[in-house]
């Protein structure tokens, strides 16, 4: 922490404030975008899984009808 005592450089309080501001202005929007993407991707994942299960049911029904 000796580098924080060099004249002309921001002190610990200013650095902490800069990190908080950076987290608010960049971190929160990025986290929001990631959460929205994961939420929407989860919905698409269910649709994909349902279509795969429907395809499996069709193949099993066709196998049963062939026997």
pTM of this prediction exceeds 0.75: no
Using alpha carbons, select from 22, 20, 44, 24 the residue that is nearest to residue 32.
24
Domain-located, residue 8: no
Domain-located, residue 14: no
What total number of domains does the chain contain?
1
Tell me: the pLDDT tens digits for 21-64?
Answer: 999 999 999 999 999 988 887 777 787 888 899 999 999 999 88
Domain-located, residue 47: yes
List Cα–Cα distances, 65 to 2, 58, 59, 61, 62, in angstroms. 80, 10, 10, 6, 5
Domain-located, residue 65: yes
Tell me: the pLDDT tens digits for 3-16?
Answer: 656 666 677 788 89
Domain-located, residue 34: yes
């Amino acid at each position: 922490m000796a580098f924080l005592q060099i004249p002309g450089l921001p002190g610990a309080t200013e650095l902490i404030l800069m990190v908080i501001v950076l987290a608010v202005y960049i971190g929160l929007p990025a986290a929001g975008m990631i959460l929205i993407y994961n939420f929407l991707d989860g919905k698409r994942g269910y649709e994909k899984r349902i279509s795969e299960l429907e395809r499996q049911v069709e193949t099993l029904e066709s196998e049963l009808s062939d026997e």
